[in-house]
Amino acid sequence: MLASESAPATDVVAVQGSETKTETASSDGPVEAVRVRPRRERAQRDAGRFAPLGLRSDDEELHPRRARRRQAEQGAGVAGRAEHGPDSELATAHEESSWLQRGYEPVLGWTLRRPFITLGAAVLILILTGALAPLMKTNFLGNTGSNSFTVTQALEPNLTLAASGEAASQVEDILRAKQGVETVQLTIGGGGAASLFTGGGASRASFSVTTSTDADSDAIQAELREELDALPEEAGEISVGGGGSAGFSSAISVDLTAPDAETLREASDQVVATLTGVEELGEVTSDLDETRPFVQMDIDQATAAQYGLSQTAIGGIVAQQLQPTPVGSLTVDGASVQVVLLGAEPPANIDALRATSIPTALGPVPLTTLATVEIVDGPVSISSERGVPLASVTVVPTDDNLSSANALITEQLDSLTLPEGATAVLGGVSSDQAAAFQQLGLALLAAILIVYIVMVATFKSLLQPLLLLVSVPFAATGAILLQLASGVPLGVASLIGVLMLIGVVVTNAIVLIDLVNQFRERGLAVRDAILAGGARRVRPIVMTALATMLALTPMALGITGHGGFISQPLALVVIGGLLSSTVLTLLVLPALYTVVEGPLERRRARRDARIEEELAANDVD
C-alpha cells in the first residue's frame, strides 16, 4: 500500500526591476504569481496622471530628486489618463483655457512665487486706505431728494395782520421770482387766545415752497439764503430749509439744559452767538429766539382761597370764557355732531378780560381781584424734562458733511464757558447717526461670526475660515476708495451695503478654496492645486462680480429717481467692495493660502517619510 503525502508549498520570490512578484508553488496546482504595487510604482502612476497638466503630485513636490529619477525611468512616454473621472476634469480645465485664464495664470504664478511681496503690498494698501478713511464725508440718511422745503419768517411781536402781510410779501416776491420754484404757499400768524388781545396780529410767516422735479433744490436754497439775508431788518429773521428735506437730513441740534429759564436763555444766546461766526456752518437758530405775545395770569393763591377757589378752578372759568367747552356729541342723520357750550360774549381786549366776572362762594368778583393779568412775550414752546428747562439750538451745515460739522460744533462748544449749571450736548441728527452706526456695527460683527461658524462646519477647520474672512476688510478698501472718489457721503445706506458685501465676498472665496481643497485631496501639491483651482474658478468669479457691478451701475449713477439718497451710496459701496474683493480672492488669498498651508503640508510629508523609513527598517530586520 503506497502512502501519498502532499509536498509542502514552496514560496519563490523574484524581483524584476521595480516589480515584485511572489510565486507560490504547491502540488495542487501551477505556480501563481501575485503582483504587489509598491509606493514607488504608485508615485509613477500619479506622475502619469498629472504630467499632461504640467502639475506635480505631493511626492514629486517634496522629493524633487526622487521625481527626476522616476522621470528617467519612466522615459518620455507617459501613460494617459482615463477618459472620464475626476482627473479628466483637470485635463479639460487645462486644455480648454480661455483668454481670461491665459492672462490670469501667469499673474497667479508670480504671486505664488512671491507670496510675501503680494501680502505686503495688500497690507500696505489696507493701511493707506485706513489713513484716507477720515477724509470721507458722513451723514445720516443723506439728502432725500425732496423737491419741497420750508422758509420761516419771524417778525416783530404785536404787529398787525396787515403789517405782517406786507413784510411777508417781500419774501414771497423773492421766492416766486426764483427760477425753478413752481409753487409758494404762505401762512401768516397762528391761533390762540393771545391774538384776541393784540389786535389780531401775527409774528410768524411760513412759506411752503415746491420746486420743479428737474431743479436742484439744494442750490436754490443756497441762493435764496443769500438773497433773503440782504433784506432789511424790518423783514425779521428768515430761515430756509428748517422744515424741509435739508433739515431732516442734516440739521444738527445742540441740546441745552439749565436750572432756570434765565440761565437757559443766557446759555442759548451764548451758543448762538458763537456758532453764528463759524463760516462752515449755515443758519443757527434757537427755539427761544422766536417769541410770541401771550396772556399771563398770576393768581393770588391766598385771595383765591378766601373766596373758596383754587388755581385750577379759576383757570377753567377763564378758559370757558375764551374758548367753547365740548360737552358731548349728537348723531344727526347718521353723522356725529360735536356739541360745545358757549359762554357769554368773549372779551375783546385785555381790559375786558380783566373785568371778567368770576363766580365765588362770596359772590361774583372781577378777575383782577383774584389775579394779575398782563400780556408778555415768551417763547413759542417751553420744554422741560423732570422739571429741568430745555432748549435747542439748530444748526444747518453748508454742505452734506455731517462729521465735519459735528467736529466744528464740538470744538466751539468746548471753548465756551457756559453759565453755572448749564450744559450743552450734540443731539438731533448727530445722535441719530451715532446710534444707527453703532447698531449697524454690531450687526456687521454678528454677520461675520455667523459666516465663520458656517464655514467651520463646511471646511471642518478652524484655520481656513479665518483665511477667507480676510476678504472682508479688503472689501471695505474698495468701498472706501470709491466713496472718496465719488464724493458721496457715508451713511446708513452705505453701511447696509457693507453688510451685504460680507456674504458676497466670502462666497467667492469659498468657491475657490473649496475646489483647491478637492484637488489637494486628489494628490496635488498646494501650489499646483491653487493653480488648477484658480484656472478653473477665475471665469465664474469674474463673471459673477462683473454682472453684479453692471446691474448696480444705474443706481450708482443716481438715475433711479428720488430714491437715490438710499440706492446710490448702497450701490457704490457694493461695487467698490466687489471690485477689491475679487482682486483679493484671485491674487491675495492664494498667496495667503500658500503661506499658511505650505508649511503644514511639508510638515505632514516629513512625518510620513519618517514613518515609511521606520517601516522599511523593520521589514529589513
DSSP string, 452-487: HHHHHHHHT-SSHHHHHHTHHHHHHHHHHHHHHHHT
Share of the chain above pLDDT 70, in %: 74
Total number of domains constituting the chain: 4
The answer to which of 16-25, 351-360, 418-427 has the lowest mean pLDDT is 16-25
62 with 109, same domain?
A: no
65 with 101, same domain?
A: no
The answer to whether residue 432 is domain-embedded is no
The answer to whether residue 284 is domain-embedded is no
pLDDT at 27: 39
At residue 347, φ and ψ (nearest 5 deg) are -65, 140
Report the pLDDT averaged over residues 212-221. Answer: 75
Residue that wins the pLDDT comparison between 559 and 32 = 559
Give 497-525 pLDDT, tens digit per residue.
888 888 888 888 888 888 888 888 887 88
Length of the chain equals 621
What are residue 204's DSSP bridge partners? 154
pLDDT at 96: 58
Closest by Cα among 88, 180, 127, 58 to 527: 58
The pLDDT of residue 457 is above 80: yes
The pLDDT of residue 29 is above 70: no
DSSP string, 136-173: S-B-SS-----SEEEEEEEPPTT--HHHHHHHHHHHHH
At residue 34, φ and ψ (nearest 5 deg) are -115, 125
The answer to which of 137-146, 277-286, 330-339 has the lowest mean pLDDT is 137-146
Report the pLDDT averaged over residues 186-197. Answer: 57
CATH value at residue 565 = 1.20.1640.10
pLDDT at 344: 65
CATH value at residue 182 = 3.30.70.1320
Report the pLDDT averaged over residues 414-423. Answer: 81
The answer to whether residue 575 is domain-embedded is yes
The answer to which of 184-193, 210-219, 283-292, 340-349 has the lowest mean pLDDT is 184-193
225 with 357, same domain?
A: no
3-state secondary structure of 422: coil
Question: How far apart are the C-alpha atoms of 256 and 286, rounded to whole Å?
Answer: 10
Give 64-103 pLDDT, tens digit per residue.
444 444 444 443 333 333 333 445 444 444 445 677 778 8
pLDDT band per the 50, 70, 90 thresholds, residue 145: low
236 with 298, same domain?
A: no
Cβ neighbours of 355 (radius 10 Å): 12
The answer to whether residue 277 is domain-embedded is no
Share of the chain above pLDDT 90, in %: 0
466 with 587, same domain?
A: yes
Residue that wins the pLDDT comparison between 442 and 388 = 442
Closest by Cα among 523, 500, 530 to 590: 530
The answer to which of 73-82, 99-108, 120-129, 338-347 has the lowest mean pLDDT is 73-82
Report the pLDDT averaged over residues 452-467. Answer: 84
Give 355-367 pLDDT, tens digit per residue.
888 888 888 888 8
Compute the radius of gyration of the chain from its Cα atoms. Answer: 42
The answer to which of 21-25, 485-489, 596-600 has the lowest mean pLDDT is 21-25
Q: Range of 48's domain?
A: 10-74
- What cell numbers appear for 370 in the block? 383774584
pLDDT at 197: 46
Is 521 buried (19+), middle (13-18) or exposed (0-12) by CB count in 10 A? exposed
Question: What is the 3 state secondary structure string of 257-280?
Answer: ECCCHHHHHHHHHHHHHHHHCCCC
Question: Is residue 383 a contact partner of residue 389, using CB atoms and an 8 Å limit?
Answer: yes
Instruction: Tell how far CA 603 is from the center of its chain.
Output: 44
The pLDDT of residue 551 is above 80: yes
Instruction: Quote the mean pLDDT of the chain.
Output: 73
pLDDT band per the 50, 70, 90 thresholds, residue 246: very low
355 with 469, same domain?
A: no
Closest by Cα among 465, 548, 456, 549 to 509: 465
- What cell numbers appear for 439 in the block? 447698531
**How does DSSP classify residue 291?**
E
239 with 339, same domain?
A: no
The answer to whether residue 87 is domain-embedded is no
The answer to whether residue 479 is domain-embedded is yes
Last residue of a domain, one of 225, 243, 261: 243
pLDDT at 73: 41
471 with 616, same domain?
A: yes
The answer to whether residue 15 is domain-embedded is yes
Question: Is residue 370 a contact partner of residue 357, using CB atoms and an 8 Å limit?
Answer: no
Last residue of a domain, one of 243, 261, 284: 243
The answer to which of 25-34, 44-53, 429-438, 608-617 has the lowest mean pLDDT is 25-34
497 with 600, same domain?
A: yes
The pLDDT of residue 15 is above 50: no
235 with 327, same domain?
A: no
The answer to whether residue 413 is domain-embedded is no
19 with 46, same domain?
A: yes
468 with 609, same domain?
A: yes
Cα angle for residues 100, 117, 94 (degrees, 5° grid): 25
Closest by Cα among 468, 463, 285 to 380: 285
CATH value at residue 322 = 3.30.2090.10
